């Protein structure tokens, strides 16, 4: 499996270092041709407006949207969550619209207010480290979206089919849990089902704000 990492701006090198540590083949995506031969894609943290402009200017927008619409696995962290969201506020921004969520940009405040937390998820029996840097807030999740972790009452790790979104930065820690989970999702043929972790009893995680069925 080869993972393509959007390398427009932001912390794409940190994702590359994580995948290298895990022994996973990867490459940087800067042009449409870089999507050839890629089995999964990571959209890293950074400045979402800059990244969106890059996608449009370089002709990557259509290719990424097509990849996601045909069930290709995509993992977005922080700014990547904004690029994947269907609705973006504070201020409004165009996006790929591949995940049925609404997000508020910079929802936790400025970078000086950023923090590190530890929280339970449904993908690991142990709490994981969550690094928040000018993170968006997920204020709404659609009915097919699964909440895998909450923090301070807000969803911070969600999955819809083979799309995984974290509003924090797992690539800035030494814990590979979230990346390992994404690779299991990417290798799974079940686009609508969450991939359990090795039959370990899962901690309860509340659903957060969910769109009525």
Query: What does the pLDDT look like over 123-172, one tens digit per residue?
Result: 999 999 999 988 999 999 999 999 999 998 999 999 999 999 999 999 99
Residues 6+ apart with CB under 8 A from 177: 121, 123, 124, 128, 170
Whether residue 197 has pLDDT greater than 60 = no
Given pLDDT bands bounded at 50, 70 and 90, which one contains residue 193? Answer: very low
* Helix, strand or coil, per DSSP, at residue 57: helix
Tell me the longest C-alpha to C-alpha distance in the chain: 46
At residue 111, the pLDDT reads 52
CATH code, residues 2-187: 3.40.50.880
Calpha distance 32→49 (Å, rounded): 19
Q: Of 26, 61, 160, 171, which is the active-site residue?
A: 171
Say if CB 64 and CB 55 are below 8 A apart. Answer: yes
Q: Of 169, 179, 193, 211, which is the active-site residue?
A: 169
Each domain of the chain, given as residue ranges in start order, spans 2-187
Task: Summarize pLDDT for 100-131 with one digit per residue, the tens.
Answer: 999 998 766 555 457 899 999 999 999 999 99
Catalytic residue list contains 58: no
Calpha distance 42→21 (Å, rounded): 16
At residue 134, the pLDDT reads 86
Catalytic residue list contains 78: yes
Given pLDDT bands bounded at 50, 70 and 90, which one contains residue 209? Answer: low
Q: Of 26, 78, 160, 179, which is the active-site residue?
A: 78
Sheet (strand 85-89) strand order: 85-89, 99-104, 137-141
Nearest to 79 by CA among 44, 109, 115: 44
């Amino acid at each position: 499996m080869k993972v393509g990492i959007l390398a427009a701006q932001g912390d794409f090198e940190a994702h590359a270092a994580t995948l290298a540590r895990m022994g996973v083949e990867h490459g940087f995506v800067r042009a449409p041709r870089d999507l050839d031969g890629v089995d999964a894609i990571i959209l890293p943290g950074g400045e979402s407006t800059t990244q969106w402009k890059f996608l449009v200017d370089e002709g990557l927008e259509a290719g990424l949207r097509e990849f996601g619409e045909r069930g290709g696995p995509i993992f977005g962290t922080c700014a990547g969550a904004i690029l994947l969201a269907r609705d973006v506020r504070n201020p409004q921004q165009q996006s790929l619209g591949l995940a049925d969520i609404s997000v508020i940009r910079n929802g936790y405040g400025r970078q000086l207010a950023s923090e590190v937390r530890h929280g339970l998820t449904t993908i690991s029996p142990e709490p994981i480290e969550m690094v928040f840097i000018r993170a968006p807030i997920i204020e709404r999740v659609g009915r097919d979206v699964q909440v895998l972790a909450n923090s301070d009452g807000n969803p911070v790790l969600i999955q819809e089919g083979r799309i995984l979104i974290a509003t924090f930065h797992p690539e800035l820690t030494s814990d590979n849990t979230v990346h390992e989970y994404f690779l299991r999702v990417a290798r799974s043929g079940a686009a609508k089902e969450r991939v359990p972790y090795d039959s370990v009893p899962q901690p309860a995680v509340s659903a957060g704000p969910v769109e009525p069925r």
